[in-house]
Structure 1
Amino acid sequence: MTLFNPLARSLRAAAHDDAQVRDEVAVENLRRLRLGALLALPVFGGASLWMLQGALGGAAMGPWQRAVGMTHLSAMGLALLLGALAHVALHRAPTGRAGRALPVLAAVLMLLLGIALTAFYQWVTPKFTPLVLTAVGVALVFYLRPPVSTALFAVAAVAGFVTLPLTQPDPALLASGRVSVLVIPLMSLVFSVLSWRKNAVNILLSRSLAQANATLAAKQVELERLASHDGLTGLCNRGEFMRRADHELLRALRHKYSTAFILLDLDHFKRVNDHYGHPTGDAMLRHVSALLASGVRASDVVARLGGEEFVVLLPHTDLESALRCAEKLRLRVQAHPLATDAGPLSCTVSLGVVEVPPRSRADVAAAYAAIDRALYRAKSAGRNRVKAGTLDEDCGPTEPARLVA
């Protein structure tokens, strides 16, 4: 029993691989059948014309010549039919039953062609070139499952062994020929199994490589996203916001339009973490982030600066419009509590607003300093409110450092 264990494992592995690559093999076999039929047409046509040219000229023909010529002519018609069927199957159902059966049928006909031509040639010469060409051709052209190829070549060997005496009367040549018709299919079977195995391995390796490349590309995209976005909320992070804000302020200065900033902070957020735990605090941050992102225009930029602090960039927006937007965001957060297992958890925000006028050369740090002071006034006034700031106030030295840190 131990001698058969490796063989059993190999057979199970081959069956598993066959199930994995069956569709790709079916499509490739049909493509090869279509191309092979196209290339075989002039070969069979020329061979049949060569053999039958005497009859066309009125000359007498031997039985072997007539049989060989008609066999090539029939093979040309079958090649045309099989090529057309393969073309149709490729466009309709390449992995269906008909698509899988066509290459097997073509392999059977090729082997029958080789056996027939070999038998006919025995009338005049003991050569086995047709059987060699067709058997090796089947092994190399089609990727046949090992059980199928074993059955085909076994039947071909038996058929050749049985038909050879019909046209070869010489005992010595018959004995030698029978050995040949047994050895040729056996060697072709080995080629067929090796070809199928190599193709299956290549398909599986290509598939694994494609999956690895797709995974790598997805991770690369995720890394690029994390480099510019906050991992918890999905909003822009501080660095990405700085880049976009700098760019927007330069455009605003060039085209002379106002730009506004809103800085907001969740009120009493520490109590949420202390009373409900950090997972609930993270859920609250994600909840407020979604409310902010869906409450502004597509051209606006919402970012999380860190902790419970968020900032909104409003291009083409003056102070009055920015105050309306800030009030809308304040009411939006207040009206949408976070759903938790313990019930709805309400939250409010305090907001500071500043406008960078059309001709101002203020940078992001100066704008941040102004809205930070406005936010501080909103919190000092009782929280859950909006306060406006201006750029001409005295700017302390630490506020800009907070933004660039």
Structure 2
Amino acid sequence: MATKRKYDLVQGEGTMESLRHYRWVAVLMVPLHMSLAFGLQQYVAPPEHPEMVEWASTVKWAHVVICGFVIFSGLLSHAYVRRGKHATAGAIVLQIAIAAGYFYFGAVISIADLVANAGAGPSSFMMICIMFGVLGLMRPGISVPLYTCACMLFAVMLLRAPIDPAHITSAGIIAYVGPMLALLASVIVWNQFVRAVMLRRELSRSNTALMAQQQELAFLADHDTLTGLYNRREFMRMANMELARAARAPCDTQLIMVDLDFFKKVNDQYGHPVGDAVLKQVAALLRSGIRTTDTVARLGGEEFIVLLPDTSREGALAVAEKLRMLVRAEPLVMEDLSVPVTASFGVSGLLRNQQGTVDSIYAAADRALYVAKQLGRDRVEYAEPESSELSSGTAEGLRA
């Protein structure tokens, strides 16, 4: 069953690969068949061998018919290949029909050669069988009955043809050996193709999994795993870049510290899964309430931080108030449970004529947050960076 499933998965790809090959074979075979038909049309049989006239006519028309067949099947193959990578039932039927058509052509010209004792004899039939055995890419479930039928076809045609009995035995051996050798080649090539395709698919899956793992590791390196927000380290890097940009093109830069009120009680009363759900909901609300140019991150625990580039003090206070109302208006709802959530906000920043570090703004925003907590929570407070912080920055801050 495992082998059958594997063959089912690969047969479509094998058929499309065969049709792609056949398009180029058709381009080569059409002029070959046409030139052979034209040459036989010009053929003049020796007077002592009048039977060669019928032989030339039979072989000529066989090449004319197969030439038309190759043109038609080649165009169909091109249409199937252009349609997509996956083989349909029609494409598989076309693949079988192409092989069967060529087998019949090979049998006709080989029998004609044997009757007239001319040409390549049964070798033509054997060569065609082996060619499709190598290029056909058909599973044994298709190739075994196909080559068996080809062998039986040639045997029946051989018995009905007016051939010298002395040649029937040797021709019969070739009629049997040719398809069997082709079938053996077909099975070998098919199994090699299956192994190559399955290995390629396994490598593709491994590469996809590896890339997904790398992307996940890259994401985890600078994001918080619970909320999906930037982590402290990545926020620090982005904030330093923004302050460097603000120094080149002077503008106000503001920072908002966010701390959830009584979050320990939420964990103690409802459990940590509910606490995690609260954190994820607040993170989503903070993200939705800022501009795309702003940056929000989780510092750790129940603390968040927002960077507002090119924003005045009044603008930062308005954003903080907006975020406070968003958090307050959205209690966490889980089944029949409703958990009210509020947060306190501390705001600070640098004016365009001030120079400072991220740590200096952080320290001032942290003081403002402390004041908001002391004054009853669920409110917004602002604090200016101190002159000592602007000159040298704090020693701890975000790097803690």
TM-score tier after normalising by the smaller chain length:
over 0.9
Q: Distance in 1 between matches of 2:256 and 2:142?
A: 73
Give the one of 109, 113, 137 matched to 1:121.
113
Q: Distance in 2 between matches of 1:239 and 1:279?
A: 25
Give the one of 74, 90, 96 matched to 1:98.
90
Distance 1:142 1:302, change over 3 A: same
Amino acid of the structure 2 residue aligned with 1:115: A
Q: Distance in 1 between matches of 2:395 and 2:322?
A: 27
Give the one of 326, 349, 358 matched to 2:352.
358
Does 1:176 find its partner at 2:165? Answer: no
Q: Classify the secondary structure of the residue corresponding to 1:232.
A: coil
Whether the 8 Å CA contact 2:360–2:393 is kept in 1: the answer is no
Alignment of 1:284-363 (within 5 A): 284-363=278-357
Q: Distance in 2 between matches of 1:43 and 1:310?
A: 77
Aligned residues: 392
Q: Which stretch shifts more, 366-375 or 40-49?
A: 40-49
Whether the 8 Å CA contact 1:301–1:312 is kept in 2: the answer is yes
Shift of 1:270: 0.9
Whether the 8 Å CA contact 1:265–1:351 is kept in 2: the answer is yes
Q: Which stretch shifts more, 21-30 or 302-311?
A: 21-30
Structure 1 match to 2:69 = 78
Q: Distance in 2 between matches of 1:199 and 1:229?
A: 44
Does 1:404 find its partner at 2:393? Answer: no
Alignment of 1:59-208 (within 5 A): 62-92=53-83, 95-122=87-114, 123-125=116-118, 127-167=121-161, 169-208=163-202
Amino acid of the structure 2 residue aligned with 1:139: G
Whether the 8 Å CA contact 1:168–1:174 is kept in 2: the answer is no
Give the one of 366, 369, 376 matched to 1:375.
369
Q: Classify the secondary structure of the residue corresponding to 1:31.
A: helix
Whether the 8 Å CA contact 1:113–1:134 is kept in 2: the answer is no
Whether the 8 Å CA contact 1:330–1:349 is kept in 2: the answer is yes
Shift of 1:266: 0.7
Q: Distance in 2 between matches of 1:306 and 1:334?
A: 21
- TM-superposition CA deviations, 1:27-69 (whole Å, max 9, x none): 223222322211211221122222222369xxx8522122222
TM-score of the pair, normalised by structure 1: 0.91
Amino acid of the structure 2 residue aligned with 1:217: M
Q: Distance in 2 between matches of 1:37 and 1:259?
A: 70
Q: Classify the secondary structure of the residue corresponding to 1:54.
A: coil
Q: Classify the secondary structure of the residue corresponding to 2:348.
A: strand
Whether the 8 Å CA contact 1:337–1:345 is kept in 2: the answer is yes
Q: Classify the secondary structure of the residue corresponding to 2:107.
A: helix
Give the one of 49, 54, 62 matched to 2:43.
54
Q: Distance in 2 between matches of 1:174 and 1:22?
A: 37
Shift of 1:384: 1.1
Shift of 1:244: 0.6
Structure 1 match to 2:24 = 35
Amino acid of the structure 2 residue aligned with 1:37: A
Q: Distance in 1 between matches of 2:66 and 2:372?
A: 92
Whether the 8 Å CA contact 1:27–1:95 is kept in 2: the answer is yes
Q: Classify the secondary structure of the residue corresponding to 2:244.
A: helix
Q: Distance in 1 between matches of 2:337 and 2:388?
A: 45
Structure 1: 5+ residue stretches without partners: 1-11
Whether the 8 Å CA contact 2:44–2:53 is kept in 1: the answer is no
Shift of 1:165: 4.1
Q: Distance in 2 between matches of 1:312 and 1:124?
A: 94
Whether the 8 Å CA contact 2:127–2:178 is kept in 1: the answer is no
Q: Distance in 1 between matches of 2:146 and 2:398?
A: 77
Q: Classify the secondary structure of the residue corresponding to 1:234.
A: coil
Whether the 8 Å CA contact 2:357–2:393 is kept in 1: the answer is no
Whether the 8 Å CA contact 2:126–2:175 is kept in 1: the answer is no
Amino acid of the structure 2 residue aligned with 1:76: C
Structure 2: 5+ residue stretches without partners: none
| % identical equivalent positions | 36
Distance 1:304 1:87, change over 3 A: same
Shift of 1:167: 4.6
Q: Distance in 2 between matches of 1:336 and 1:28?
A: 58
Q: Distance in 1 between matches of 2:163 and 2:320?
A: 105
Whether the 8 Å CA contact 1:372–1:399 is kept in 2: the answer is no
Q: CA RMSD in A?
A: 2.2
Q: Distance in 1 between matches of 2:184 and 2:197?
A: 20
Shift of 1:391: 1.3
Whether the 8 Å CA contact 1:263–1:312 is kept in 2: the answer is yes
Q: Which stretch shifts more, 379-388 or 236-245?
A: 379-388
TM-score of the pair, normalised by structure 2: 0.92
Give the one of 258, 263, 268 matched to 1:274.
268
Whether the 8 Å CA contact 2:258–2:344 is kept in 1: the answer is yes
